[in-house]
């Protein structure tokens, strides 16, 4: 069970299970800014894509997706990233970073906190919570609180 990607997203009171597929993963790679400056120490950047199994959201069947783009960590090893928390405070910051939640369309988050809790082999344990835009085309736009706890495979 330790190598299976798993977890749940609770979005506006609706539950979605993590989809254990190759599109669900946490990326850990060298920070391009460090490489461009040819530093002696290359730090890591982390990002996350999580796909979810189809489920009900209101009266629709949807398959959500969370995309969290690159956060520089200033750390050189995944072990040093355990315990770190990343935060996006508003929709403008999420839009600029291109962090999105897909429900009906890709929409920016209103805000979120993402925490790296633990590592077991190549599985990373994380939590995320905040508020997301779920339908930006409706008037007024629809939002929902969300929280998730996931065990996601790391790619580097």
Mean pLDDT by 10 residues, the chain (156 residues): 87 98 94 64 91 95 97 92 98 97 96 97 97 93 97 93
Give the per-residue pLDDT at 69. 97
Tokens at residue 135, please? 């339908």
Give the per-residue pLDDT at 115. 98
* Other CB atoms within 10 A of residue 18 CB: 22
Give the per-residue pLDDT at 34. 56
* Other CB atoms within 10 A of residue 70 CB: 16
């Amino acid at each position: 069970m330790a190598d299976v990607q798993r977890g749940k997203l609770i979005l506006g009171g609706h539950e979605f299970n993590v989809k254990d597929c190759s599109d669900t993963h946490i990326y850990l790679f060298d920070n391009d800014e460090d490489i461009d400056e040819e530093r002696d120490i290359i730090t890591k950047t982390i990002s996350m894509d999580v796909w979810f199994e189809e489920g009900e959201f209101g009266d629709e069947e949807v398959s959500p997706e969370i995309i969290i783009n690159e956060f520089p960590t200033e750390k050189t090893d995944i072990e040093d990233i355990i315990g770190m928390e990343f935060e996006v405070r508003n929709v403008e910051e999420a839009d600029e970073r291109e962090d999105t939640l897909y429900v009906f369309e890709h929409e920016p988050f209103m805000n979120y906190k993402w925490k790296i809790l633990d590592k077991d082999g190549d599985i990373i344990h994380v939590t995320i919570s905040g508020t997301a835009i779920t339908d930006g085309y409706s008037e007024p736009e629809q939002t929902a609180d969300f929280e998730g706890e996931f065990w996601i495979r790391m790619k580097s």
